[in-house]
């Protein structure tokens, strides 16, 4: 490779470095951003690039000086110097390529920042336009929460009433069993011949006492049943539940309405 070709390559690399550095400086002067850690590294690399440029200028000066003093150099010295320069030029090319790629990253970051700023501006400018919709939406959400709270409250009250109805139904069933037992005893007593119990005065007195006891028990059972029936009917009718369309409640109303 001739000395002229080396000088031409060096000049070309110098122009490329200057162009890249000028663009990078313009971005720094125009944006005036607060740099992150990576951006600080890019700045350090830019400083290093300036140093490389200075070295390249020194190299260019050295080459010019060597061209003036070529009468004092031998062919072998010139060849070794050319090889050395080619190696250094390759190294500078690699460094320059690395710096160019990092400059591209910086340009992309600046572009993304500008795009984000435009998006933020457009979003905040639309804030006043959508405030009425947001207000309406918040009102609807509050209304929904209020309705849900009322529904849950009503559901809790309904569960309480259903629990009371269940207990009353159990009490009515138990009372029915007691009444059936008493009726069976009464029927059994009535079905037997009455003369059997009047053979002596002792039996007559015992029968009278037993009849009175059974009569009192029956009257008490009927009174209690009436109380339970009235309470249960009142709860069902005053609860507001459509018991006519509820098979369970309808059967319960019919059962407590039966006479013994």
Q: Which of 125, 160, 177 is where one domain is finished?
A: 125
| Minimum mean pLDDT range among 135-139, 202-206, 248-252, 253-257 | 202-206
Percent of the chain with pLDDT over 70: 65
Residues 191 and 249 occupy one common structural domain = yes
Tell me whether residue 185 is in a domain.
yes
Angle at 103 between CA 102 and CA 109, to 5 degrees: 90
Q: Which domain holds residue 223?
A: 150-256
**69 or 2, higher pLDDT:** 69
Give the tens place of pLDDT for each residue, 24-41: 444 444 444 445 666 667
Residues 215 and 103 occupy one common structural domain = no
Q: How far apart are the C-alpha atoms of 159 and 18, rounded to whole Å?
A: 84
Q: How far apart are the C-alpha atoms of 237 and 145, rounded to whole Å?
A: 31
Position 21 scores a pLDDT of 47
- Asked if residues 229 and 256 have their Cβ atoms less than 8 Å apart, the reply is yes
Residues 174 and 227 occupy one common structural domain = yes
Residues 11 and 113 occupy one common structural domain = yes
Residues 219 and 183 occupy one common structural domain = yes
Residues 13 and 114 occupy one common structural domain = yes
Residues 88 and 191 occupy one common structural domain = no
Tell me whether residue 172 is in a domain.
yes
Residues 119 and 28 occupy one common structural domain = yes
Tell me whether residue 135 is in a domain.
no
Position 97 scores a pLDDT of 80
Tell me whether residue 225 is in a domain.
yes
Residues 8 and 82 occupy one common structural domain = yes
Instruction: Evaluate if residue 201 carries a pLDDT over 50.
Output: no
- Asked if residues 178 and 168 have their Cβ atoms less than 8 Å apart, the reply is no
Tell me whether residue 136 is in a domain.
no
pLDDT grade, residue 14 (50/70/90)?
Answer: low
| Minimum mean pLDDT range among 1-5, 21-25, 150-154 | 21-25
Position 27 scores a pLDDT of 46
The number of distinct structural domains making up the chain is 2
pTM equals 0.28
Residues 195 and 234 occupy one common structural domain = yes
Instruction: Evaluate if residue 121 carries a pLDDT over 50.
Output: yes
Q: How far apart are the C-alpha atoms of 210 and 212, rounded to whole Å?
A: 5
Tell me whether residue 142 is in a domain.
no
Residues 108 and 182 occupy one common structural domain = no
Q: Which of 90, 125, 160 is where one domain is finished?
A: 125
Q: How far apart are the C-alpha atoms of 43 and 17, rounded to whole Å?
A: 15
Instruction: Evaluate if residue 22 carries a pLDDT over 50.
Output: no
Give the tens place of pLDDT for each residue, 58-106: 887 777 776 765 654 555 566 677 777 778 888 888 888 878 777 777 7
Position 260 scores a pLDDT of 42
Three-state DSSP string of the chain: CCHHHHHHHHHHHHHHHHHHHHHHHHHHHHHCCCCCHHHHHHHHHHHHHHHHHHHHHHHHHHHHHHHHCHHHCCHHHHHHHHHHHHHHHHHHHHHHHHHHHHHHHHHHHHHHHHHHHHHHHHHHHCHHHHHHHHHHHHHHHHHHHHHHHHHHHHHHHHHHHHHHHHHHHHHHHHHHHHHHHHHHHHHHHHHCCHHHHCCCHHHHHHHHHHHHHHHHHHHHHHHHHHHHHHHHHHHHHHCCCCHHHCHHHHHHHHHHCCCC
Instruction: Evaluate if residue 182 carries a pLDDT over 70.
Output: yes
Phi, psi angle pair for 32, to nearest 5°? 50, 55
Position 192 scores a pLDDT of 60
Tell me whether residue 141 is in a domain.
no
Instruction: Evaluate if residue 229 carries a pLDDT over 80.
Output: no
Residues 25 and 95 occupy one common structural domain = yes
Indicate the average pLDDT of the chain. 71
pLDDT grade, residue 253 (50/70/90)?
Answer: confident
Tell me whether residue 114 is in a domain.
yes
């Amino acid at each position: 490779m001739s000395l002229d070709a080396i000088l031409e390559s060096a000049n070309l690399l110098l122009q490329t470095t200057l162009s890249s550095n000028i663009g990078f400086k313009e971005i720094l002067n125009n944006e005036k951003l607060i740099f992150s850690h990576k951006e600080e590294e890019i700045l350090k690399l830019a400083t290093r690039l300036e140093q490389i440029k200075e070295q390249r200028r020194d190299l260019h000066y050295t080459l010019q000086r060597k061209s003036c003093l070529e009468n004092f150099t031998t062919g072998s010295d010139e060849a070794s110097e050319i090889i050395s320069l080619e190696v250094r030029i390759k190294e500078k090319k690699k460094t320059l390529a690395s710096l160019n790629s990092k400059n591209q990253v910086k340009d992309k970051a600046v572009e993304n920042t500008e795009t984000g700023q435009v998006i933020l501006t457009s979003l905040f400018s639309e804030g006043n336009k959508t405030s009425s919709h947001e207000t309406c939406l918040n009102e609807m959400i509050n209304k929904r929460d209020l309705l849900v709270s009322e529904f849950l409250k009503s559901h809790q009250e309904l569960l309480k009433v259903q629990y009371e109805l269940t207990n009353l139904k159990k009490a009515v069933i138990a009372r029915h069993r007691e009444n059936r037992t008493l009726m069976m005893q009464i029927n059994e007593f009535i079905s037997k011949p009455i003369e059997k119990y009047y053979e002596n005065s002792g039996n007559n007195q015992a029968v009278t006492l037993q009849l009175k006891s059974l009569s009192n028990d029956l009257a008490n059972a009927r009174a209690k049943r009436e109380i339970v029936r009235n309470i249960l009917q009142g709860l069902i009718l005053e609860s507001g539940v459509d018991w006519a369309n509820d098979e369970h409640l309808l059967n319960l109303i019919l059962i407590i309405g039966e006479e013994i």
